[in-house]
Amino acid sequence: MDLFEYQGKQYFARFGIPVSPGGVADTVDEAVAQADAAGYPVVVKAQVQVGGRGKAGGIKLANDADEVRLHAGNILGMDIKGHTVERLWIENASDIEEEYYASFTLDRAAKQHLLMLSAEGGVEIEEVAVTNPDAIVKLHVNPVDGLSVETARQAAIDAKIPERALDGVASILVKLYDCFTAGDCDLAEINPLILKPTGEVHALDAKVSLDSNAAFRHPEWEEYSAIEVLDDRERMAKDRDLQYIGLDGTVGIIANGAGLAMSTLDVVNQVGGSAANFLDIGGGANADVMAAALDVINHDEKVKSIFINIFGGITRGEEVAKGIVEALSRVALRAPIVIRLDGTNAEEGREILAAAGIPPEQLISKPTMLDAAREAVAIAGGN
């Protein structure tokens, strides 16, 4: 679950990370009121979950109420890379001496947390990685040991953070790590992390992605779910408790298990296709779950073929087959299905599908994942 900037800053504040005073506004009048409360000059910032707000005109400095009114009126309703601005964050403007970058995420391959720190902030970290990769310090943190102030300070030294900012940066890194771990984040990023002329170090932006699997520990996250930005496909999938992420390709993907689903996306890409989604129906999926999954994918107009990749362990082949038959009886699928069905009760599943009288052009069975991927991509026109 990705948070808006203002939500991320509010989340940071819970862990003692210094952020600019400000408030949320949905109208021009509210923007003026928030600016009056924060103190001029202020920055009027579009709240959309996409980069490039400044270049698009979504971030403006205002010295008085009239300028706030002008900028808020121009930014509300603005389209930024397909995202409509419906909310603003108004904060007291900060004097900036230097800008840094700091983030924590999980390095799954190393099975450790990963700190990335750079003295070159204020730009996308991907750009820094290309133009000056040595400017990024990467430090693995063992979850058992955690991050000490001493280790954080050494990382800041390694990143060539100036002496006058070392203590402030180290302090914020420890707090950011606490936010990342205790706050159950997938990503906690500050860009830029600024040094003020007064010597204070301060989070000027916030990018926070929460681990939805930890929601049971955080009833307070309900407020975020209420305004979570989802496209129609993702909203439908969430309503049906499906693990779904919308993508931009033409091959709809259904698999049982996150690992198999990821592998399926990779294979589709390897044979020249592009996935329209990630959809994991889980290890114990039954007919109802399969029918719901097909219904969601059917609402994606970009989908030209549907690749169902099932390797049965807990999931039983006959239940998968029943779900497909049930879905086809309820929904007129726009795209043909290519299925690879293997594992527990796979033969029974194939018999159910064969007896259902489904036209061969609507349902194609292949013996291996690679064969099925090639067929699905060919139907979708990607190879």
CB 369 within 8 A of CB 263: yes
Tokens describing residue 355: 């007896």
Cα–Cα distance measured from residue 256 to residue 310, given in angstroms and rounded to the nearest whole number: 6
| Whole-Å CA distances, 65 to 30, 36, 226, 319 | 11, 7, 31, 63
CA angle 169, 171, 172 (to 5 degrees): 65
DSSP state at residue 26: S
Q: Which residues pair with 365 in a beta bridge?
A: 339
User: Mapping DSSP to helix (H, G, I), strand (E, B) and coil, where does residue 21 land?
Assistant: coil
**Catalytic pick from 11, 101, 177, 244?**
101
**Nearest alpha carbon to residue 28 among 60, 66, 80:** 66
Catalytic residue among 98, 189, 319, 375: 189
* DSSP structure string for 325-382: HHHHHH---SS-EEEEEEETTHHHHHHHHHHTT--TTTEEE-SSHHHHHHHHHHHHT-
**189 is a catalytic site residue:** yes
Handedness of CA 370, 374, 380, 383 (dihedral sign): positive
Contact 137, 117 (CB under 8 A): yes
Name the β-bridge partners of 279. 244
Active site residues: 101, 189
